[in-house]
Amino acid sequence: MNSKTKLKLKPIIDILMTFALLLLMSYELLASTAHEVVGVAMFVLFVVHHALNINWAKHLTKGRQTPIRIFQNILVLLVLISFVGSIVSGVIVSRHLFAFLNIKSTYAANRIHMLSAYWGFIFMSLHLGLHFNMILLMIKKKKQLSPKVKTAFKIIFILIFAYGIYAFFKRDIASYLFLKNQFFLLGDNEHLLLYLFDYMSIMFFFATLSHFVFSILKSNTKSGS
């Protein structure tokens, strides 16, 4: 596969992975079979994503280890650990696609799956923030966009960021991250679209935090060089 094809495929794979991740976090609003199908699709996308970025992985430990590279590498490692934990535990607790394996589901596997899923969501959201520069540059390069439109973008970003903080507490994410709540709880008359928007906003919040940290590390690296 040539480099041009890879460049075209990368954003498509990233978008599909983001959408799949949001669907996976909507477990209670999807049929359990659908959840497992999306999980398998996520695994395939994850493998393709890393295959497309194999050259980056080869140079992971080469060259100067700046604070930016260390930050990126730690995030990638945390994403990998949480993803492997989610996949392995997911196969164990599977009631449909992998039931033929006759693996007995355990309490520990269920807890690991929840931990891996929620921490993985946070780590992947933080990882997504490392690509915010590309999105922001695309907006800035749009010369046809008027100052008013650009201001509108900023306002929308701020509103989603603020709502992401609210949604984090509304959905009680911390209780799942630290296993204070061991069951998925939903309110009455929960709607999938609103649920997805809440998690998308939480994702945006953590991605923005990661972007800010990345920007600070980048400026410090430049000033120190």
pLDDT in tens for each of the 225 residues of the chain? 677 787 788 889 989 999 999 999 998 788 899 999 999 999 999 999 988 888 776 667 777 778 888 888 899 999 999 999 999 999 999 999 999 999 988 889 999 999 999 999 999 999 998 887 666 666 666 657 777 887 888 899 999 999 999 999 999 999 999 998 877 766 667 888 999 999 999 999 999 999 999 888 888 776 665
pLDDT of residue 188: 64
Q: Are 39 and 25 in contact (CB under 8 A)?
A: no
Burial of 75 (0-12, 13-18, 19+ CB in 10 A): buried
pLDDT of residue 130: 84
pLDDT in tens, 90-100: 999 999 999 99
Q: Are 22 and 199 in contact (CB under 8 A)?
A: yes
pLDDT of residue 150: 79
| Cα–Cα distance measured from residue 160 to residue 147, given in angstroms and rounded to the nearest whole number | 20
pLDDT of residue 55: 78
Q: What pTM, to 2 d.p., does this model score?
A: 0.90
Q: Are 208 and 132 in contact (CB under 8 A)?
A: yes
Pseudo-torsion of CA 79, 6, 203, 156, nearest 10°? 160
> Which residue, chain included where needed, has tokens 């008359």?
189
pLDDT of residue 138: 65
pLDDT in tens, 127-163: 998 887 666 666 666 657 777 887 888 899 999 999 9
